[in-house]
Chain A
Amino acid sequence: MILWEVKKLFKSKIGWICLGLFIFICGVMFFLKPILETENIYRNEKYELIKDDRSKEIIAQEKLDQKIHQIKEMASYSGNDDFSKTLKTISQKKLKAIENTKYEDVSFFKVLNHRISHPFINSVMIIILVLIFSNIYTDERISGMNDIILSSKNKFKVLYSKLGMAIFLPIILYMIYVSIAFIITIFQYGPPIHGQLEALRIIDFAGLLKEPYTIYEYLVLKISVMMVLLITVSVFSSLFSFVTKTSLAAISASALFIGFGKVITLMRFLPHSFLTIMSTSNYIDIMFHMEQFIGMYLGHVHILGINVDRIQMCNIFLLCMLGIGIAGCIFTFKKFLTK
């Protein structure tokens, strides 16, 4: 059944538009590049380009030294609040894990890390999924196929295959994207070497990294969060497609769903702990500032008298949302569409 859904997708105009968009982001990715560890380029207030002309090795070593120095400072900080204490412990752990303080070429991973979660790529990926899944059932309604499906023996099989597609297609699509990024980056920046080294070598907020992750671990973590985000958006778009009558209603509901978390952060009358969680687990901020959340330590929140790690809480929240989306779809199949 799921293959039929895929076939239907490629028979529709939207399927081809999405394919076009996907090819477009794969092309755009070719030009996406962060400032490498071996470079020191920035713009001043007048947007004039300032470039460090020293040798690559010197710049890279200086940057690494700065990061290590920052962690060392945090490890020796004598603040008494919970945040400082935890940060101190984390920093000590990270310092212990650093085996080599000499710069090694991590350009491949630096670029790959940038490309797999660039805000523009994330936005287009979300648009692709919203376009596909907010039409997944409304198309059946418009063509009048919904009654045929719902009166067939395999009605649940059809409905679950739509849900299955909402779960698996984002994974497949994103994995294809990551694979293409992997190959293109090899061609542009050489082979993937030194992935076993510390993740702090490729990220800018090294001081706040929660664990002494290796580059591999960090990338896996990032890809996992990205997948949860994409699957959640697909599942909710499908849910809106199941419960609304027009594609415009489904698509605008999906857009509002994505933006709703960010909106909540503006409602200052809500409990502080809730706002704190939402400020890091809303889909807009995750899409646009993923670097600031993945694997970071951003303090604790007090919920019902318990002290919980903020990022951990956000991860739980994201997984819960995914669960709610899937449960919502199943509930809709059983109690709404087929009744």
Chain B
Amino acid sequence: MGSLIKLELKKMLFKKRILIIWMGILFLSFISIRAFSMEETYADLFSKSYGLVPFMGILMFMIFSGAYTLEYNSNMSGIIKTTKNGRKSIVIAKSIASVIGASILNLSIFFTLCLSAFTKFKFAGLDIPLKNLWYFGNSESDITVIQMILIMTFTIVLGSFFFAQIGLFLSSISNSAAIPFVFGGLIMGLPYILEGFVKNMGLGKYLGATPLWTMMSCQLIRYKIPMSMIGIFIVIFIGAMTILPKLTYDSFMKNN
């Protein structure tokens, strides 16, 4: 299984276009943080980490979209399914590889932002509470910057888990990579697009139950999302983690 995951990861990540775009986004992440006062810069860090979400989405769904469509289009699915590990194991391997791949991509972008911000102040002030940063203006949160970074590291991995399952499922039911790319991106980005609209309708707190906001957990703190919403997301998460891999397996097996 280990080598299968490793090779799946290589298949997904080590593509020229992925590497170029990834490097481009890392560069962008680094330069997008500017040297203001410490509080301003650290607020900028969280603001930009949410602002760069569309690029995380593009990268993530570029790797998920081809996971199954590539096998279908190249007729490799026939070969794969006739091998000993070509059924449940390959679905699990693809899933793990996607989670690892997405986590590496997303965390690398987030950590580049952090590095860019922290090096400007020689890693000082990491214990500043979030309530002192404009980005968390009304949150009154006592969580410190470093604590938030650690929480986000965890939730970014959690989000990568979730979006990987969505992306893989969409890829497994489609023959064209365009479909999982667009619709996966749409599922991820809907709270991003509709934020203003939803808030105007007074339904802002429900954004807290979306996978995107849980992944970028600074949003949960910023808007003081109630625990009930986080509870709803946990239910959605468990449901998706249980159902989606099974659906993915079924559609992979059905596609001939």
Q: State yes or no: do A and B touch (Cβ within 8 Å).
A: yes
With a cutoff of 8 Å between Cβ atoms, the chain A residues found around residue B128 in the complex are none
B199 located at the interface, meaning its Cβ lies under 8 Å from any Cβ of chain A in the complex = yes
Q: Measured between alpha carbons, how far is A274 from B150 in the docked complex, in Å? A: 37
Return the chain B residue nearest A246 by Cβ: B177
By the criterion CB–CB under 8 Å, are B176 and A252 in contact? no
Q: Which candidate, B54-62, B92-100, B158-166, B230-238, is the interface stretch facing chain A? A: B54-62
- Chain B, interface size: which category? 20 to 34
Return the chain A residue nearest B73 by Cβ: A142
With most chain B CB atoms within 10 A of its CB, the pick from A131, A142, A248, A268 is A248
Quick one: which of A257-316 are within 8 Å of B by CB? 259, 263, 266-269, 288
Shortest C-beta distance, B175 to chain A (Å), equals 8
Return the chain B residue nearest A12 by Cβ: B176
Return the chain B residue nearest A122 by Cβ: B193
Contact A248-B186, Cβ < 8 Å, known A17-B179, A43-B200, A256-B58: no
By the criterion CB–CB under 8 Å, are B55 and A259 in contact? yes
By the criterion CB–CB under 8 Å, are A249 and B197 in contact? no
A232 located at the interface, meaning its Cβ lies under 8 Å from any Cβ of chain B in the complex = no
Q: Measured between alpha carbons, how far is A47 from B17 in the docked complex, in Å? A: 43
Return the chain B residue nearest A35 by Cβ: B200
B204 located at the interface, meaning its Cβ lies under 8 Å from any Cβ of chain A in the complex = yes
Quick one: which of B196-227 are within 8 Å of A by CB? 196-197, 199-200, 202, 204-205
By the criterion CB–CB under 8 Å, are A47 and B176 in contact? no
Main secondary structure of the interface of B (DSSP, over half): helix
With a cutoff of 8 Å between Cβ atoms, the chain B residues found around residue A252 in the complex are 17, 21, 58, 62, 181
With a cutoff of 8 Å between Cβ atoms, the chain A residues found around residue B177 in the complex are 246-248, 251
By the criterion CB–CB under 8 Å, are A251 and B181 in contact? yes
Contact A120-B185, Cβ < 8 Å, known A14-B176, A252-B21, A252-B62: no
Quick one: which of B27-62 are within 8 Å of A by CB? 28, 31-32, 34, 48, 54-55, 58, 62
With a cutoff of 8 Å between Cβ atoms, the chain A residues found around residue B204 in the complex are 47
With a cutoff of 8 Å between Cβ atoms, the chain A residues found around residue B138 in the complex are 45
B4 located at the interface, meaning its Cβ lies under 8 Å from any Cβ of chain A in the complex = no
Shortest C-beta distance, A89 to chain B (Å), equals 33
Shortest C-beta distance, B149 to chain A (Å), equals 21
Q: Measured between alpha carbons, how far is A263 from B25 in the docked complex, in Å? A: 9
Return the chain B residue nearest A139 by Cβ: B176
By the criterion CB–CB under 8 Å, are A248 and B21 in contact? no
A130 located at the interface, meaning its Cβ lies under 8 Å from any Cβ of chain B in the complex = yes
By the criterion CB–CB under 8 Å, are A266 and B32 in contact? yes
Contact A13-B176, Cβ < 8 Å, known A45-B138, A127-B186: yes
Q: Measured between alpha carbons, how far is A47 from B73 in the docked complex, in Å? A: 49
A59 located at the interface, meaning its Cβ lies under 8 Å from any Cβ of chain B in the complex = no
Q: Measured between alpha carbons, how far is A8 from B238 in the docked complex, in Å? A: 41
Q: Mark B186-197, 1 if CB is under 8 A from A, else 0.
A: 100000011011
Shortest C-beta distance, B156 to chain A (Å), equals 20
12 contacts between A and B (CB under 8 A): A14-B179, A48-B202, A119-B196, A127-B182, A131-B182, A134-B178, A247-B177, A248-B181, A259-B58, A266-B31, A266-B32, A266-B48
